[in-house]
Structure 1
Amino acid sequence: MEKPLVFQQDAATILFSVSIAVWVLFEFSMRIRQRSLLRGRAAHDPSAVVLAACLTASVVGAIQLGQHGPLLWPGGRVWPLVAGEVLIAAGIALRAWSISALGRFFQYRIEVQPEHYVVTGGPYRYVRHPSYTGVALVVIGIALAAGDVVSLAVALVLSTIGLAVRIRAEECQLTEALGAQYERFAAHRKRLVPGVW
């Protein structure tokens, strides 16, 4: 039985694995940076647990379905890999740009800092949560590169649930802490996709 390229051709497998490793290492390095800035302060954040679980399930599910799923994308095996790799790279780049634009306000946990203000530059000109848009692009890219139609459907559903829970929690806290300033910002921008949601 024919399988997606990432599970049948060495070069494609290496490219796919390296892309995922780059994403994981990027997130890991940001997490280490956060821990050093937090200086041991702990915080209970259920939305982070939901997001991590949904993203992990999205990626693992997409890879498993790609290896064993019977529903390959029409039009050949090359384009899903190429499109997926482009989305993974774009997602990592957008997430890095978003984190850079936030500067000291970037955190993995939801917490409004002293003298916090709404960042409106960089990718925040276009959407409220471009960092999460970046995460979504990476997950969609992984699922697409995995080569199975069902992989993408499962990854979309699971990652959307995780991101929706996280965004709701974050927006509640930002609205409560920053009030009208955040409401004005939110009124002119969609959450993840310009003009859509």
Structure 2
Amino acid sequence: MFWLLIVILIAQRTAEMAVARQNEQKVKQQGAIEFGESHYPYIIITHILFFLSLIAEVLLMNKQPSSWWIGIAAAIVTVQAVRYWALCSLGSYWNTKILVVPGAELVKKGPYRWMKHPNYTVVILEFLLIPLLYHAYMTMCLFSILNAVLLTVRIRTEEKALEEYSIK
């Protein structure tokens, strides 16, 4: 079951990166400006290291699924539904990079009606829930802290860019 989860999550991330590249081309044709280029590689590295750490912790420490695995798995599936709801709501504006089309109106549909950054909330929950599924507490704690630091920088950068270049 562990390897199936890992394969699904990595396939999901790979597909998302392909969508992000397509969307990047679309919005750059509309004049999008990129922000946060300096911190973006750290986000990519953090996500890669998250999976490597999870795999290492589970295998090297012979971690078994939580007795609460059904509930945790249901929460993970729900979080993925929110991820794709956010992705679909943004359409071609969704990206793993901060790309802002000057003068574009902020998206206010889907989960964006209720919160500014639902996709970041999804990532926060994933960094908690996925390791929790296998009692990988070291991975959960370490990467939740790293993610918090990165998201602090990223959200500030994104908010500043949106404030300056978007229509409210």
**TM-score class, shorter:** 0.7 to 0.9
The share of aligned pairs that are identical, in percent, is 23
Query: Are residues 137 and 47 of structure 1, via their aligned partners in 2, closer, same or farther at CA, if it must alter by over 3 Å?
Result: same
Query: Are residues 91 and 115 of structure 1, via their aligned partners in 2, closer, same or farther at CA, if it must alter by over 3 Å?
Result: same
Aligned position for 1:82: 70
Aligned position for 1:118: 106
Aligned position for 2:31: none
C-alpha displacement of 1:173: 1.0
Aligned position for 2:43: 51
| TM-score for the superposition, normalised by structure 2 | 0.77
C-alpha displacement of 1:126: 2.1
Aligned position for 1:146: 134
The count of aligned residue pairs is 162
Aligned position for 2:5: 19
Letter matched to residue 15 of structure 2: S
Q: Which runs of 5+ in 1 are unaligned?
A: 1-13, 182-197
Contact 1:54 1:158 in 2 (8 A): yes
State whether structure 2 residue 56 is matched by structure 1 residue 64: yes
Aligned position for 2:150: 162
Aligned position for 2:14: 28
Whole-angstrom CA distance in 2 between matches of 1:37 and 1:125:
22
C-alpha displacement of 1:170: 1.3
Contact 2:83 2:119 in 1 (8 A): yes
Q: Quick check: which has more Rg, 1 or 2?
A: 1
Contact 1:51 1:165 in 2 (8 A): no
Once the two structures are superposed, residues 43-87 of structure 1 have per-residue CA deviations (whole angstroms, 9 ceiling, x without a partner) of: 6712221212222333332343344459x89xx9411x3343233
C-alpha displacement of 1:141: 1.7
CA RMSD of the aligned region, Å?
Answer: 3.0
Query: Are residues 22 and 174 of structure 1, via their aligned partners in 2, closer, same or farther at CA, if it must alter by over 3 Å?
Result: same
Whole-angstrom CA distance in 2 between matches of 1:63 and 1:87:
20
Q: Which runs of 5+ in 2 are unaligned?
A: 29-33
C-alpha displacement of 1:169: 1.8
